[in-house]
Structure formats: C-alpha cells, structure tokens
Chains A and B, each alone.
Chain A
C-alpha cells in the first residue's frame, strides 16, 4: 500500500462511519444555527467544538487495549456508583434535586457516564461467567443487582429518562449473554403488571402527567400537552421539503419548547421537511444498524461482542425514544437526540459509545490479522 499524505492514525479511522456521522453533526450545527436566530454562538459553535473534542476522546478510547477495558470495568462502575451517591448527598444538603457534580473546571454528570459503564460492567460479568452457568440464577441475580443500584440512584434524582436508558443498555447485554428466553418473557409479563402499579405509586406527579398527556395530548393543549402538540405542528407544517433554512416559525416564535435540545428534530423537520428527517434516519441506520451491530457480530470474542452491541443499543435507545417522543409516539421524557441536540454531556456519552465500538472494531481487525 502506497504511503499517503494523511497520517495513518487518521487514515485508518473508520471513515465509512465517521463520514456520515460528521455530516450529521454538521447538519445539526446548521439546525442549531437557525434555532439560535442565525447566530453561530453559543449553540452551533459549541456543538462543533463538543464534537471535535469528544471525537478526539473517542479515537483515544478506540486505541485502548481490550485488557484495559476488562480491568477498568469494575473500578469504573464502582467509582460512578460512589459519584451517584455523592450527587444525591450534595443535592440533599443543597436542597432540591441535582444531577451534576461541580468539579471546578467542569461539571460531571455521573448518570450519563453510567450508561456506557453499565454495558461495560455487564459485558465483563458475563465474560467471566462460566458458560454452563448462563442458564442458572447466578447469571441473572448479580447482573440485576449491578443494574439495580445505579438505576435506583438515578430514578430518585429523579431522572426517569436516563434511568430507562441505563436499563435498556443493560437488558440488551443480559439478553445477548444468552440467559434463558423465558426469563425475558416472564420479565415482560411482570413489567406489564408492575407498570400500572408503578404509574400510580412510584412516578412523580409531573412524570405521571407526561404519560397521561402522551395518551391524549390534545386534552391539555395549553398545559402539559403543549410540548407534544407544538412539536407535531412543527414537523407536520414542514411537509416534504420543509419551509426552508431559517424560516421555521414554530421555533423562531418560541412555540416549540426546547427547540435546540430535546425537540431539535422538530426544529430540523420544520425547516428541512421529511427529506431532512430521512437523512437523519439514514445516518443512524448506517452508524447503528450496519456498523454498530455489524461490529458486534464480527467481534473477536464474547466480551467484545456484548460490549459493541450494548453500546449500539444505548445510542439506539436515545435515537428511538427521542424521535418517538417528538412525533407523539412516546411520552415526553428528557432525552436528547444524539449528534443533533445541543449539549456536551450527551455528546460525550454518545462519543464514548462510538469510541468503544471503534475499539472493538480495531480488536476484531487485529484479531483477524493475527489469526486469520
């Protein structure tokens, strides 16, 4: 292979996936530029800065060896649990709920980091579990405990969206680990029974309201149904080709709430129409369905496979819930759309996932190079 002007570390990055992803992020910046009233700062500019910074981080992560991942799994998990407890304690003392720890130079949101960490720790757990035990209670109970502690801590913050994301990543890993199928069927049935009970006894008033409004948003047009209704108006009024760049009235006249974060897809759809929406879906199809799951299937070992699939599932969960929410298919939960929504924490989490998948991809290629 002839040498190129582009240095190897960059040339060898999986551009097949980073290309579309970079396009998506730039598209996101365009949308944020319009939502910010035609201004680069703070939204659009910071969005690109976040991407570049966390892309660098993802590349670094992708070069980390497999053993380091395995060794780091439990300490990382343990540290994050401690931080979650700390957040809760600081919040209690300070009065009111808090999700951040102010470290002075940056704010740290441990619940965000927990999303990839739970996938990592469960992949490590199942990799260590002797295969013949996968069908015993020993395969499930410790895993559920590993999940229950952080999920519980996040739920009492209260942050339902993040807790659900943590659970989803974990459940996908447990599922892929090969535990008996009927546990999931049984679990599903239990959830069907527990969900209504949780709705009435566990959820906070404002969370309950989001669910009832989801069922019938028009019943409370000016109250809690407002978000969903305005979001649908934005998407619906965009039509196939959209109103054009900078012409979105729903976002510019502030009818659309959170136009630059949770409802950025609606902001985008209003100006770019269904065409823009299909582009976004296409990029996620390439990144998650083809590349993410593909890497998982090609992974050299059980740990790597579960890691890649779990990371893919975590990002997928964001995408699916956010888009279902803005289109009125899911209740309003505070989950941003990866790579489009403004916000550093979410960009970091998603790029950690991407970096991890890239790492798995690298192990796979090296493995094939070594043994194949």
Chain B
C-alpha cells in the first residue's frame, strides 16, 4: 500500500528508521498513556476533594455568614418626621399614613419595561411614567426612586401581588410628608425629597438609601433636618433573591423626630398667601413686641407636597417659565427699589439732624437740581409742603429740597439705624440684602464721586437703593416700636430685650402721625384704611419705577415694565402691636399693595371680616392657589405631555433660581430717576384702582 509519497515520509521518519511500529507497540503505548490519563483523572479527583474541603470546612464560617446575610434582610423603617408647628401648635407640615411604591435600580432587570408594566397596574399617565424614567436615569445602585405614593389599597395590593414578576419594585406602607396648606408654606418650610448622590456622599448613612426615607431639601426642612429626622426602626425578615419577603423575623419601632415650633401664625400665613391672589408678591407680618414673624409669604409658590417625589418635567416647565418666579422666595431674595416707603426714615433723619418739621417748601411739580428738573409725582404741585404733608402726600419735592440741605451721610446713617440694607439672622439660609448707598460706597463700587442727584434719588427710594421685603417689615416694626427690633422665626416664650432706636420720642410721634394721616386723613393711602371698630392703622405707600419712562408710564403695558407697588404699615395706631409689609411686583403702583395690606391687617383683628372679603375674590381668580396650580398643571400636561424637557438635578435647579435673584434690578449708575407715585389723592373712592388716577406721570429730562 503506497499511500504515502516517499518524500513526505523521509523527514518525519528520520532517526526512527528501522524502528517498526507494530500493533504490540501501539498496545504498549496505549497502556502507558491510559495510566497517564487515569493519573490525570485521579489528580483532578483529589484536587476537587481538597477544594471541597477548603470551601466547606476551611471557609465554612465565612460562607455561613454570607448565606445568612443573603437570607436575612435587615431593612430600616424610615422614622416619622417631626412636625413643623405654628405658634398655636397647628401643623404646617405633618405626616400621613401612605401606601407607596419604590424602585431599586440595582435590582431591576429592564428599567423601561418594569416602569411601563407598573404604569399599567397603577394607571399612570404618560407624563408620570416619563418622570419616573427620568428619575431612574439619574439614580444608581441601591438608591431608591419613588415611583408612586398616596396609593389606595387596591392599587397597592395589585402591585404587591405582581411583585415577583417586577424585580426591584418595592411596595411599602409608611408615612409621607404632608403640608396641609401646600403652596402657602412652600417657601417658608421648604420641602423634602429622597437623598441624592451628593447627600449620600456627605453622610454615609444606610438610612439615606432606605425606600421611603426623605431628607429636608430646602427651607426649614433642610435647616432643621437633624432635629426633625428621628431614629429609624428596623425589621429583620427572610427574603428571596428577588426581594420577596418570606416571613418577618423581628422588628423594632421607629422613634419619630422632634417637632419644631415657629412663630408663624398658620391661619394668617394661609390667609395672606391666598390674598396675594394672581399677583406676584410678598407679605410679611411681624409682632413688634417680640420680633416674631407671624407670616412670611411669597407667592406664587410651589407645592411642597408634589416636590417630595422629585420634580417632574411638566411641573418644572410650569414653574420655571412663569415670569412670576414661583421658585423665588421674594421676601428674602427679591430686591426692589423701595420707592416712597423710605420717606419716613428720611424724614426721621431730617428731624434728628435738626430740621424744623414746620419748615416748608413750595412744590410746583418739580425742582431743578443742577441742570436737571426732578419732578414730583404730582406734577400739578402740592403747594406749600411741610414735613407732615411731605409724608402723607408723599411730596417728592419736599424731600428733594431738604435732602440737598441735610446731606446723604445723615440719611444713610439713619437708614442703617432703621434696619435697611442688612441681613438678619433667620434659619432660612442667606438673604439678598441689597444696598443703602452713600458716597463712600459709590466710590468703592464705581470709582465715581457722589453726585447731588444720587442723594435726590436715594431719598425717594430709587437710584442705587435696593431692599428686600423683610427689611421693609422690620423698618415698619421699628417705627412702630421705637426699638432696634430683630426678627425671629423659631417660637420662643422668652421676651427678647431690644435696644431703643435712640431717636427722640417726639420725632417718632411725628413720623407716626404722618403715616396715620396718610391712611386715615388727608393722605394718599385711603385704600388701606381698615374697617374694624376702634382699630386704625398707619402706613406709607411706595411706587417703585422699574424701567425708564420710554417703556411706558409704569401702569399699563407689558407686565414686567410696570411699577412695583409697596406698602408698609403698623397697627393699632394708638397701641402698636403688628407691623406689616406688602409688595406687589409690577403691580402698577402702590395702589395694588394697599388693599392687600388692608385685608391682612383686618385679619389680625377680625378674621371673619377678612375671609368675607377674600372668598368672593378668590372664586373669581379660579380657586385657592392649590386649585389654580392643579388646573394649570393639567393645562401644561395636555399641551406638552412627556415632551417637556428634562429637569436634571431638580434640587440644584431650584436652588439656582433662588440664588439668581440677587440682583433683579439693573443698577443705575448715572441717570437720575424721576419720582415714584402713590395713588390718587386723598379720599378718592376706593373703587377706582390704579388706572383711574388723574395724576400724570412726572417727566424726567433736561430742562429745555
């Protein structure tokens, strides 16, 4: 059989020539190699036995512990959060029993599919499903993501039954945060939410990644998180790999967090917030005996109830596109030219510097300063004006005239003494505290000499002057009390000791008299007069111009070009107890602020009367703030659906809106602004609002 070509054989058989391979030799080779194979098998067998002994006996302890930690799941029970109470003990933030569903990203196999299935079971809308997917995308590892809360029993049971087919879905009964008045306390108490990666980095606490646990994200909820948090309970249960609980082994109850109590009066807070209505505004009410803040409202606001499960796309679009900036706490972060509300302070400065209050100036509608004419809001002129009339008629020429004589240093010093331009110690984070300008400040900031028209601007609360509403409330309190009062927000039964302002009582009395006259007499503030027997309030209006007159007259036109309306007041006049500040952003003048101040002050003395005034109006506005927000949300939801852009880090976005408020007004570095303008003269019937005023706008500009 010559199957093999000669040439091929030679090489491989070289050296083995002559050695014939026979069947016997092959048998021999087979036997030897079979022994080798057998030996290999035996070696592997011994190796396996050794490995088995090493794992099962040598490392038994280690693996027993691991098996046990597999089998037994120690889950934390989120503690019930401490309540936030108002001064009467009524809750501003409470907890309510709740059925909820969370998702653990780590344990989910297919995010989209699971969420869609869950959406079907819970009949969620496309928007809600999109929001859950967004949140899942941002989450990692075992940090839980809230899928749904406030479920009824049927839906909760439906999810629980299907849990084995939904890996990573954790239905749970627990407690959730509840704010009874919703948006009315949003800026005050803040909101809670699931801890994010940054929170967990700061505090490696397993509680933070427990489903259902929320931490304070903003406001008081954040500031007092430690006090409110409480101690978690724990439950040991036997679980399967997919997380299904086979049986509970033992459990320990949670310890609820401590309540915190505020100086806020819940009813007043609710009332004042709702009274702002459709306007963008702020109201602060203070007790001038103690400095207690009774109400601190900034509207429109967000609903902290709906923020606790994260901030959804539609919700974010709705809030961030609103030119009324619902995410900004205007009381602390809104900066506005105060307009004529500075005049009582300026007048006090004049008195303390020795100006005789009976000294008068003739107002014919304007005053030439340098080569410019500064107009009075009443360009027909006020005639002969002394200090009292300067306050109650808010005559600008009076202040133009005497400010030049007394000088800015005197005015600025009194402004600081009365509490303008500074930050107060409140547990609500940083405040934007604005500017009280003086020559040294201008040199520092702009490297320019102080000009006489700067003084003129400042005395009517325009120009560089910027304040926040809290300061206005404090100035009102200080005028009413005569003390260097400071605000407080946390309830405290002790009576704080305030230093006197250090101004002569007769000077203070004169200012207060002017403010009384403004509201109850010959002044421009009749619309703030309250209709409660034996109670009168005193106040001062302010209209602050936002843009130059070339945009319009400040009353009509584009909303954001309209003037801001201010009103500060205190009452009762004869024995002051409460001070109040009202701001209406772009309200078209102080006429928008006075009716609000009137109703809020009325509430303090006669709640029924106040509600009777508010409820019909509210019906016309489309319901309570909560109802209006719900309707608006529905509208946005219909219009944009899940197509609204993603929020990303909602908490950070909210914080940015608030911080961005630091300088909402352009700083005027040169041009002189004309005077502000209160509403129509004295006992005008309150039915005419704003526009009916016959008073023409002052015209600024060079004299021909």
Contacts and interface: CB of A to CB of B under 8 A. Distances in A.
Contacts of A284: 45
Contacts of B51: 324, 327, 329
B3 interface: yes
B64 A239 contact: yes
A138 B3 CA distance: 10
Nearest to A134: B21
Given A293-B34, A327-B48, A253 B57 contact: no
Interface stretch (B90-98, B197-205, B240-248, B694-702): B240-248
A285 B41 CA distance: 9
A277 B20 CA distance: 48
B63 A235 contact: yes
Interface in B44-58: 44-45, 47-49, 51-53, 55-57
B26, B44, B56 — most chain A CB neighbours (10 Å): B56
A92 interface: no
Contact of A306 (B30, B44, B239): B30
B4 A136 contact: yes
Contact of A239 (B27, B29, B56): B56
Contacts of B239: 253
Interface stretch (B9-17, B218-226, B486-494): B9-17
B20 to A, nearest CB: 7
A118 interface: no
A234 B56 CA distance: 9
B684 interface: no
B55 A134 contact: no
B665 to A, nearest CB: 54
A184 to B, nearest CB: 10
Contacts of B70: 230, 233, 249-250, 253, 255
Contact of A255 (B20, B44, B49, B241): B241
A277 to B, nearest CB: 5
Interface stretch (A44-52, A81-89, A125-133, A150-158): A125-133
How big is chain B's contact interface, by range?
35 or more
Contacts of B106: 222
Interface in A287-325: 288-289, 293, 296-297, 302, 305-306, 309, 313, 316, 320, 323-324
A273 interface: yes
A178 B25 CA distance: 9
Contact of A237 (B1, B20, B31, B60): B60
A28 interface: no
Contact of B41 (A135, A297, A316): A316
Nearest to B28: A178
B44 A277 contact: no
A288 B3 CA distance: 39
A197 interface: no
A136 B48 contact: no
B358 interface: no
A161 interface: no
Contacts of B66: 233, 236-237
Contacts of B41: 288-289, 293, 316, 320
Given A237-B64, A239-B57, A250-B67, A172 B37 contact: yes
B63 A132 contact: no
Interface string A103-139: 0000000000000000000000000001111111110
Interface string A151-186: 000000000000000000000100111100000000
A253 B45 contact: no
B250 interface: no
A293 B38 contact: yes
B67 A233 contact: yes
A269 B206 CA distance: 34
Nearest to B246: A253
Contact of A249 (B12, B44, B57, B67): B67
B48 A309 contact: no
B64 A236 contact: yes
A131 B21 contact: yes
Contacts of A175: 33, 37
Contacts of B429: none
Contacts of A336: none
A135 B4 CA distance: 12
A230 B63 CA distance: 9
A230, A233, A255, A320 — most chain B CB neighbours (10 Å): A233
Interface in B108-140: none
Interface residues of A, number: 56
A302 B23 contact: yes
Contacts of B3: 133, 138
A23 interface: no
B619 interface: no
A291 B53 CA distance: 26
B34 A232 contact: no
A236 B59 contact: yes
A331 interface: no
B241 A234 contact: no
B45 A237 contact: no
B651 interface: no
Contact of B34 (A270, A288, A309, A327): A309
Contact of B21 (A132, A250, A309): A132
Contacts of A296: 34
A27 interface: no
Contacts of B56: 235-236, 238-240, 269, 273-274, 277
A154 B80 CA distance: 60
Given A232-B63, A274-B57, A135 B37 contact: no
A302 B26 contact: yes
A222 B56 CA distance: 22
A297 B35 CA distance: 9
B444 interface: no
A253 B240 contact: yes
A254 interface: yes
Contacts of A234: 67
A363 to B, nearest CB: 16
A135 B31 CA distance: 17
B438 to A, nearest CB: 65
A281 interface: yes
Contact of B57 (A172, A240, A250): A240
A230 B55 CA distance: 12
Contacts of B67: 233-234, 236-237, 249-250, 270
A316 B41 CA distance: 8
Given A232-B63, A239-B60, A274-B57, A136 B9 contact: yes
A41 B570 CA distance: 86
A144 interface: no
Interface in A350-366: none
A249 B249 CA distance: 15
Contacts of B57: 239-240, 274
A135 B45 contact: no
Contact of A236 (B12, B22, B45, B60): B60
B241 A253 contact: yes
Nearest to B107: A222
B423 interface: no
A135 B8 CA distance: 12
Contacts of B31: 297
A297 B34 contact: yes
A248 to B, nearest CB: 9
B42 interface: yes
Given A234-B67, A327-B55, 9 more contacts: A178-B29, A240-B56, A274-B52, A274-B53, A281-B45, A285-B45, A293-B41, A305-B30, A320-B41
14 contacts: A130-B1, A131-B25, A134-B26, A137-B8, A175-B33, A235-B63, A237-B66, A239-B56, A254-B242, A274-B57, A281-B48, A296-B34, A320-B41, A324-B44
Interface of B: 1, 3-4, 8-9, 12-13, 16, 20-23, 25-27, 29-31, 33-34, 37-38, 41-42, 44-45, 47-49, 51-53, 55-57, 59-60, 62-64, 66-68, 70-71, 106, 238-242, 246
5 smallest CB-CB distances across A and B, nearest first, come from: A236-B63, A237-B67, A178-B29, A274-B56, A254-B241
